[in-house]
A and B are shown apart, each in its own frame.
Chain A
C-alpha cells in the first residue's frame, strides 16, 4: 500500500476509496438506465445496456447494489456528517462559498456544511428510491401493491431520481472546482495547503502531534 508523499495527509484509506468508486460506478449505470426510461429523448441510452428490456432488468439490481454499497459509507461517515451550528452558518454564507471567498466562512472540520447536507440528501434519496423502486419493480413486487400505490411509486421514484442526479452533478462539480479534492478520492491523500484552506479544523486535528518534516 502506498503512503502519502512526505508532508501530505491521508484523507481516505484504500477501502473507503474502493467503496466510493463502486458506489460511483453503480450510480452512473443506474442513472443512465433510469434516465433512459424517464424521457424519450434519453431512450437511446438503453443501447448501453443491451436494449430496452435489459435496461429494465438491470436497473433495479444495480440500484439495490448501489444502496447496499453506499450504506457502508453511510455508516462509516454518519457521525462526521452530523450538522452543527457552524455548518448552518456556512450554508447561509453560500454566496461566499461560490465566490471562492473562504476566508469569510466559519472553520470547517472534516466536512463542510455543503458536504454534510449532500450526505443526508443522498441518504434521503436512496431510502425513497429504494422503497418506491420496490413498489414499481413489476417483475417481483408490483402485484402486491394497489394500483394507486404503484402510480405514486413511479412518481416518487422519478422525483427522487431527479433530486439525486442533480445532487451528484453538484458533488462531481465540487470535486472539479476545488482543486486537489479528486486526488483525495483517487490516491487517498491531500496536501497540507488544501487541508488548511478548506478544512482547517480537521487539519489542526490530524496534524496534532505530527512532527514537521
Chain B
C-alpha cells in the first residue's frame, strides 16, 4: 500500500519510476532541532515511544545521561549529551537529539538491494517499508550518520519515520509536539531554514559567533536540520559528521559497478556463444584416434 500515496520520488532497487503523480506542492518538509534551546528532558524520546508504540529493553547505566545508550530498533531517537569545555574554560552541555536525518540523497536507499524496502516521498521523508526489508543491513553501510538498526527479533531495519503517518494527515511529528521549549519545530524546509536564520542571528548577537545551521550539502541537504552554537565544530555534538556524504565505496559499489558488472557477465556468456557459432567446437578427429593408437603401439 505505501505506493498508493502516489508521491514516491525514490524507491530502493527499482529501475523505473514509481507512482509520483502527487508532488509536494506545499513544499518539502523539515524538522529543525535547535540544540541551543534543548534542555535534555527527553520528552521527544517518550513521545516517539508513545506514538510509535515502541518499548525498548531496559538497558544498563553506562556512566552518562544518554539513555538508552544507543539508537536501536525500538529507540528511533535519542538525546546525546556531550560535555564540552570551551576555550574560556567553561563547561558547555551540548545536547543533540540523534536520529534519522532524512537526507535528500539517502545513502540507505542507494545501498538497499530490495525493491521498495526504502522509499522517499515527495516531501523529502525517507521511510523504511519493513514488509519489503530482507534484513541484509546494506542500509547501515549506506548511511553516513549511523542510524538504521536491525531488530534482533525480526531482522528488519528500523529508524525514525519522521512520523510520516502523522505528517501525511497534516500533523507534526510526535517529538515536535512534545517539546516543551520549542527546540524542535516542523514545517516546510523553506520556513525552517528561515526560522533557523533568525535563531542564528539571535545567537550571534549573544556571543555565539560560530552559530549556524547544519544542513549538510554532501547528502543534498537534510530534512532534519540542527541549529548549532558551534556550527564550525559539529563533531562536538556526539560526533556529528562535519562533511557527511555517502561513502565513495558505497557509491562505487552501488553506482557504476552494478550495470557494468552485469553487462560484463552477460558479455562473457555472449562471447562464448559467438565463439561456438563462429569458430566452433574443438573435437578430437579420426586422425587423433589413429595417432593415439600408434602412440600406444610404440609405448614400451
Binding site for B on A (CB under 8 A): 36-43, 46, 51-53, 55-56, 98-100, 102, 136, 138-139, 142, 147-148, 150-152, 154-155, 158-159, 162, 165-166, 169-170, 173, 176-180, 191-198, 203-204, 207-210, 212
Contact = CB atoms under 8 A, between A and B. Distances in A.
Contacts of B295: 196, 203-204, 207
B297 A147 contact: no
A169 to B, nearest CB: 5
A150 B150 CA distance: 15
A151 B284 contact: no
Given A169-B272, A177-B282, A207-B299, A155 B135 contact: no
Given A138-B150, A154-B250, A170-B268, A38 B141 contact: no
Interface string B81-96: 0000000000000000
B284 A180 contact: yes
Given A177-B276, A198-B284, A192 B113 contact: no
B131 to A, nearest CB: 10
A143 B212 CA distance: 34
Interface string B136-152: 11101100001000100
B170 interface: no
B272 A209 contact: no
A155 B261 contact: no
Nearest to A157: B253
A170 B272 contact: yes
B292 A196 contact: yes
Contacts of A138: 135-137, 140, 150
B269 interface: yes
Contacts of B284: 179-180, 191, 193-194, 196-198
24 contacts: A37-B134, A52-B132, A53-B135, A56-B134, A100-B279, A136-B141, A139-B135, A139-B155, A142-B137, A151-B249, A154-B141, A158-B261, A166-B265, A173-B269, A177-B276, A177-B281, A177-B282, A180-B283, A191-B284, A191-B289, A192-B293, A193-B286, A196-B291, A208-B300
Contacts of B275: 98, 173, 177
A93 to B, nearest CB: 15
A207 B282 CA distance: 23
B233 interface: no
A38 B113 contact: yes
A151 B141 contact: yes
Interface string B252-292: 11000111011011001100100110011111111011011
A182 to B, nearest CB: 11
B280 to A, nearest CB: 7
B285 A148 contact: no
B14 to A, nearest CB: 6
B296 A102 contact: no
Nearest to B247: A151
B115 interface: yes
B178 interface: no
A53 B134 contact: yes
B137 to A, nearest CB: 3
B188 interface: no
Given A169-B272, A192-B296, 10 more contacts: A39-B258, A39-B259, A39-B262, A56-B135, A139-B155, A162-B265, A166-B265, A177-B275, A192-B292, A207-B296
Contacts of A195: 292
Nearest to A46: B134
A180 B289 CA distance: 13
B13 interface: yes
B26 interface: no
Contacts of B276: 173, 176-177
A208 B300 CA distance: 7
